[in-house]
Amino acid sequence: MGTPSKHTSSPILNDGLKLLMTKAEKATTIAQCRPLLIELIKTIGTMEHNNQQNIIQLQQQSSQLQQQILNQNTELLAKIDTLLYTTQRPAPSSPPSQSQSQNQTQALSSDEKERLRSVVIYGIEESTNTTPSLKTQDDNDQLTQLFDGLNAEVSIDKHYRMGKIGDLPRPINFSSK
**How confident is the model over 39-72, as pLDDT tens digits?**
888 888 888 898 899 999 999 999 999 999 888 8
The angle, 0 to 180 degrees and rounded to 10, between the axes of the packed helices 30-88 and 15-26 is 160
Same domain, 136 and 74: no
Please check whether residues 113 and 84 belong to one and the same domain: no
**In the 8-state DSSP scheme, what is residue 148?**
H
**Per-residue model confidence as pLDDT tens digits over 70-108:** 888 888 887 777 777 666 655 555 555 555 555 555 667
For residues 35 and 65, membership in a common domain is answered with: yes
Residue type, 114: E
β-bridge partners, 159: 174
At residue 28, the pLDDT reads 80
Residue 5: pLDDT band by 50, 70, 90 thresholds? very low
Structural contact between residues 144 and 156, judged by C-beta atoms closer than 8 angstroms: yes
Q: Examine residue 63 and state whether it is found in any structural domain, yes or no.
A: yes
Q: How far is CA 89 from the centre of its chain?
A: 20
In a domain, 2, yes or no: no
Domain boundary among 88, 120, 143: 88
My answer on whether 80 and 33 are in the same domain is: yes
On whether both 83 and 114 belong to a single domain, the answer is: no
> What is the predicted pLDDT for the residue at 53?
93
Q: What range does the domain containing 45 cover?
A: 15-88
Same domain membership, residue 70 and residue 21: yes
Q: Does a structural domain hold residue 118?
A: yes
Strand-strand pairing, 118-121 and 156-161: unpaired
Residue 60's pLDDT is 93
Do 115 and 70 fall into the same domain?
Answer: no
- The model's confidence at residue 19, banded by pLDDT at 50, 70 and 90, is confident
Q: 3 lies in a domain?
A: no
**107-164 pLDDT, tens digit each:** 677 777 777 778 888 888 898 998 999 999 999 899 888 888 888 888 888 888 999 9
Same domain, yes or no: 66 and 128? no
Domain count of the fold of the chain: 2
Whether 93 is in a domain gets the answer no
Going across the sheet that includes 156-161, the strands are 118-121, 172-176, 156-161
Same domain for 74 and 46:
yes
pLDDT at 16 over 60: yes
Looking at residue 57, what is its pLDDT?
Answer: 94
Is position 99 within any domain?
no
Residues 25 and 58 placed together within one structural domain of the fold: yes
Q: Where a domain ends, among 29, 58, 88? A: 88
b/e map 30-53, b = 16+ CB within 10 Å: eeeeeebeebbeebeeeeeeeeee
84 and 115 together in one domain: no
